[in-house]
Amino acid sequence: MKIAVMPGSFDPITNGHLDVLERALKIFDRIVIALGENPKKEYLFSVEERKRMIREATKGMPIEVDHFSGLLTEFAKKKGAGAIVKGLRAVSDFEYEFQAALMNRKLNPDIETVFVMTRGMYCFLSSSIAKEVASLGGKLNGLVPKHVEKALRNKYR
């Protein structure tokens, strides 16, 4: 069984994340969503809220959602994953992702990083920009799942 981890903050999950996930599931049998905390970020949703939104959005998919702290490579090893899946939107993502991929390879040479390109229509989409639009009362049709849009509306009401 080919298992991969897909790390991120998912604050909140967007249709861009789901697009990457669906594409990655053509390569891997099972994906563990590695919900992490980046100390440089402030989160709108709690870990439990983020987990719930991911589970709802990925119902019926061979997905597990788990929270991790510490090194991603250690988490991947614990989960029996041979790969890390990362979504790439634009060249601007590349420099950081390239550095992280090489560091993760140094930390564990048995784990490959696999980059998956998002659909063009999601190139501009991020959780941060979705939050900004929601906070200003804008619509997010087709950019986040319905339940996520509702959760964003509730946060900013």
Report the distance separating Cα 73 and Cα 71, nearest Å.
5
Report the distance separating Cα 33 and Cα 64, nearest Å.
6
Q: Is 89 a catalytic residue?
A: yes
Task: Enumerate the H helices of the chain as residue ranges.
Answer: 15-24, 47-57, 72-78, 91-107, 127-135, 146-156
The token duo for 88 is 């790439």
Q: Please state the closest distance from residue 30 (CB atom) to ligand PNS, in A.
A: 19
Report the distance separating Cα 42 and Cα 44, nearest Å.
7
Would you say 76 or 134 has its CB closer to ligand PNS?
76
Residue 7 binds ligand PNS, judged by CB under 6 A: yes
Residue from 72, 85, 143, 151 that binds ligand PNS (CB under 6 A)?
Answer: 72
Q: Is 40 a catalytic residue?
A: no
Judge whether 2 and 82 are in contact, CB under 8 Å. yes
Binding mask 78-117 for ligand PNS (x = CB under 6 A): ----------------------x--xx-------------
Residue from 4, 6, 9, 45 that binds ligand PNS (CB under 6 A)?
Answer: 9
Computed on alpha carbons and rounded to an integer, the radius of gyration of the chain in Å comes to 15
Q: Is 41 a catalytic residue?
A: yes
Residues that contact ligand PNS, how many (by CB under 6 A): 11
Active-site positions read 17, 41, 89, 127
Q: Which residues bind ligand PNS (CB under 6 A)?
A: 7-9, 36-38, 71-72, 100, 103-104
